[in-house]
Amino acid sequence: MLCNECGKRPATVHITKIENGKKTNMHLCEQCALAKGALSINTGFSINDLLTGILNSGTPLPFKVDFMDDPVCPVCGMKYSHFRETGRFGCGSCYNSFGERLTPLFRRIHGNISHTGKIPNRAGTKFKAMREMEYLKAELAVAIKNEEYEKAAEIRDKIRALEKSNGRDE
Amino acid sequence: MMGGWITQQGPQNEIVLSSRVRLARNIVNTPFPAYLSMEEAKGLINQVEAAAKKNHERGYKLLVMDELPNIERQVLLEKHLISPDLIKSAKGAALISQDELLSIMINEEDHIRIQCILPGLQMKSAWDMANSEDDVLEQTLDYSYDEKLGYLTCCPTNVGTGMRASAMVHLPALNMIGNIGKILQTVTQIGLTIRGIYGEGTEFQGNLFQISNQITLGLSEEEIVQNISAVTSQIVEKEKEARSLLLNNNRIQLEDRVWRAWGILKNARVITSQEAMKLLSDVRLGMDLNIIENLSVSIINEIMIEIQPANIQKYAGEELSPEARDIIRAEIIRKKL
């Protein structure tokens, strides 16, 4: 089919308009459709549109909980429903305030739900120790499995030392 | 006048123009910039400035967006030292290092955005530099950080490392052969994205592309750096293959294209930004293939930035209409070449 407007290029955009109960069909090529402003191909949707799309595309619940369940961040006053509209948080505490509701979002954006990168020096001293502990425990399990008892004993001592120093901090 | 990545040389510089790493950071218990009053925003600028200036080697200069003429702001943007969002922010400011390799944006979407931009493909060095600057800031500033989610950011697409790493690449041969589409597709499948830098839609002005990471949560900074570096190196190899293919099969046509571009750039009296970017791409290709000799790529980089609208107006010392800019643009290019 050729474009209704220019009659030269093939029609790739098909528009059905219903105005005052009257239905009209238009078959246009991309250029003419753009020129007529019939569609906004080039506006390219923004990251906001994408995010709110993701946020609002979850499996619908069998009952409506929107009004009951709209937590507010105590630090900045941002409502969860507002975040869903804008795709932007109000402050760092929003993450904690909205909690588990955000997990599916992170999974969809990043394919992951936990950070494995840099730990800040000051804010992260405790986390560093925790991660070190996890690492040592995993190493210990491997050593025991491989019957490397001398190595296992060494690792055990390290774990004890770490536990001690953590205890002092608290 | 020009400095930083624009004039310096780096590895793989014939195809990779620059490597950039940006880290998003926020201050704990403080609303994000959009929700700060002007007063609070000013306070934050002072706080970050004091923290950054502990590192005396950098020679940071503070530029407050509100106090800076529009053209000056645009010039910084065209040099890729600050972002489009920052110049729009009345609360925004930037600390620019003396060598123009590091910049710290304050009150953009996040409280702090540390950016390091180096010439050529040296993603690891860019990360190291941004990382150590981050350590300096963290000595005095209390970051918003979560044990499980990492660095907390205004937009959930940045949470975790808060890191965006990107390489700017010049891919004329792949674009000529028509292989760009395939690369665009493949790259997105592995959590990276590639897009044209100048121009909109499907037209890639100047054949310049940016490869960057999409995922910030669940990968370490080192992994992100490795991924981007590996993919960029592969794309560089593909571009080189495409270039030798063109050179072997269409040498004379390629030479003709390069020398025509050279001829127009050296002689034009009126030139649009679009035409200039296209011809500069041809000349850059000609230099890489030794068709044009005795010219440094940094000259092309400088021209590329100097012919952007705000830089032209800064050069002219007044605001100009697009038509007047086309005349000055041609003049700048003739002088440089």
Q: Distance between CA atoms of A103 and A96, rounded to whole angstroms?
A: 11
pLDDT for the residue numbered A126: 67
B180-226 pLDDT, tens digit each: 888 878 888 888 988 887 655 445 778 999 999 999 999 999 999 99
- Average the pLDDT over B78-105 and give the result: 93
How many domains does chain A fold into?
3
Q: A90 with A42, same domain?
A: no
CATH node for B4-241: 3.30.590.10
pLDDT confidence bin for A64, thresholds 50/70/90: very low
What does pTM read for this prediction? 0.79
Helix (H, G, I), strand (E, B) or coil at B193: strand
Chain B residues touching residue A118 (CB < 8 angstroms): 131, 134, 150-151, 161, 220-221
Arithmetic mean of pLDDT over chain A = 77
Q: Structural domain of residue A89, as residue ranges?
A: 70-113
A112 contact residues in B (CB cutoff 8 A): 160, 215, 217-219
Structure tokens at B302: 């400088």
* Residue at a domain's end among A78, A95, A113: A113
Does residue B142 come out as left (phi exceeding 0), alpha (psi in the -120 to 50 range) or beta?
beta
For residues A19 and A61, membership in a common domain is answered with: yes
Q: Is A10 exposed, middle or buried (0-12, 13-18, 19+ CB in 10 A)?
A: exposed
pLDDT band of residue B118 (cuts 50, 70, 90) is very high
Query: What percent of chain A is modeled with pLDDT above 70?
Result: 71
Q: In this structure, how many other beta carbons lie within 10 angstroms of the beta carbon of residue A87?
A: 21
Task: For residue A89, list chain B residues with Cβ-Cβ distance below 8 A.
Answer: 32, 152-156
Place of tokens 């970051």: B143
Look at A102 and B156 and tell me if their CB atoms are within 8 Å.
yes
> Residue A103 falls within a domain, yes or no?
yes
Q: Which phi and psi angles does B58 have, rounded to 5°? A: -75, -25
Check B148 against A118: CB less than 8 A apart: no
| Residue A37 confidence class, pLDDT cut points 50, 70, 90 | low
Contact A118 B200 (CB under 8 A): no
CA A101 to chain B, closest CA, distance in angstroms equals 13
Q: Which residues of B touch A120 (CB under 8 A)?
A: 138, 143, 145, 151
**Separation CA B87–CA B110 (nearest Å):** 14
CATH 3.30.590.10 positions along chain B are: 4-241
- Of residues A164 and A126, more confidently modeled: A164
Q: Is A60 in the same domain as A3?
A: yes
* ipTM of the modeled complex: 0.86
Mean pLDDT of A23-45: 63
Of residues A51, A110, A117, nearest to B221 (C-beta): A117
* B194 beta partners: B211
Pairing of β B192-198 and β B150-151: unpaired
pLDDT for B34 equals: 94
**B109–A42: do the CB atoms touch at under 8 Å?**
no
Whole-Å CA distances, B102 to B42, B52, B127, B129, B136: 21, 11, 11, 8, 13
Tell whether A40 and A97 lie within a shared domain: no
Structure confidence at residue A65 (pLDDT): 43
Contact A117, B161 (CB under 8 A): yes
C-alpha atoms less than 13 angstroms from C-alpha of A95 in its C-beta half-sphere: 27
Question: pLDDT by residue (tens digit) across B247-274?
Answer: 999 999 999 999 999 999 999 999 999 8
Burial A38-76 (b: 16+ CB within 10 A, else e): eeeeeeeeeeeeebbeebeeeeeeeeeeeeeeeebbebb
**How many other C-beta atoms lie within 10 A of the C-beta of residue A145?**
9
Same domain, yes or no, for A11 and A54?
Answer: yes
Residue pLDDT, tens place only, B37-70: 999 999 999 999 999 998 778 899 999 999 999 9
